[in-house]
Structure formats: C-alpha cells, structure tokens
Amino acid sequence: MPTDMPRLLPRILGTAAALIVCAWFVLGIRQAHDINAATAIISGTAPPSPAQARRAGSLLDSAAQLNPDRSVDLLRSQLVLREGDPARARALALAVARSEPENIQAWLAYGSASAHDRPAFTRALRRLDELAPPVGGH
C-alpha cells in the first residue's frame, strides 16, 4: 500500500460525493424542465392532441424518477382529465388526497375531476372548506 493512500482516500471520497451531489442536481434540473414542459402541454387552451398527450405523459414519467413529490401525479390527473377520462383523473387525484389528506391541490384536482359526480364533488368541497375555511363570514 502506498504511503500516500491515507491522504488520497479522503480526496477520492470527497470527489465521489461531489459527483453524486452534481448528478442529483442535474436530475432535479431535468425533472423541473420536464414538469414545466408537461404543464405547458396540459394547460394549453385546447385539449392536447394524442401526440401531445403522449409527450406530456412521457415527460411526467421522466419527472417522476426518484421524485417523492406527488405533484407529478396531480399533473397526470389533469392530463387524463383534459383527455376526457374524468373517472381515471378522479382516481389519480384521490390517491394523492388519501396519501396526503392536507394537500389542498390534491383536493382541488379531485374536485375538478368530479364536476359530473355530485357526491365526489361535494366531498371535495367539504374537505377544501375544512382545509381553507372561508374568510370574513360572507
């Protein structure tokens, strides 16, 4: 074993740690880019074309890698709703709402997907009212 090894080991470990941190940041940047691109497709004025929907779905799949944030699932719910499948959109949003019962965005997505399902829509409104009660008493 070379005599310099005890001094080189911390440098090697430090370099490896720096590379891991850089890779993590690159992944985060890529996820943010994919989320922004998917959001642009989902929030367009017209429903997405089948090709746009596939592209948005692919971007969301990419953004979901190693991402514990459930916002990707809520975007997927919005995409499915824009594609005309409110039952699936409702199921996706409800899964997030059940796992994060304090998540107002999840309950909003669930309510949006429940516009034609009165009991589900009422449930979403009640939960939203609990989470963010009206201000001012009007």
Q: Residue 35: is its pLDDT beyond 70?
A: yes
- pLDDT value at position 97? 97
- pLDDT value at position 133? 84
Using an 8 Å Cβ cutoff, are 62 and 88 in contact? no
- pLDDT value at position 5? 72
pLDDT tens profile 39-65: 999 998 889 999 999 999 999 999 998
pLDDT tens profile 77-96: 999 999 999 999 999 999 99
- pLDDT value at position 3? 67
Q: Residue 25: is its pLDDT beyond 80?
A: yes
Q: Predicted confidence band at 136 (pLDDT cuts at 50, 70, 90)?
A: confident
User: Which residues are within 8 A (CB) of 62 and not within 5 positions of it... i.e. 6 or more apart?
Assistant: 30, 31, 34
- pLDDT value at position 27? 86
Q: What is the mean pLDDT of the chain?
A: 92
- pLDDT value at position 138? 55
Q: Residue 137: is its pLDDT beyond 60?
A: no
| Percent of the chain at pLDDT exceeding 90 | 72
Q: Residue 125: is its pLDDT beyond 70?
A: yes
- DSSP string for residues in the chain: --TTHHHHHHHHHHHHHHHHHHHHHHHHHHHHHHHHHHHHHHTSSSPPPHHHHHHHHHHHHHHHTT---THHHHHHHHHHHHTT-HHHHHHHHHHHHHHSTT-HHHHHHHHHHTTT-HHHHHHHHHHHHHHS--SS--
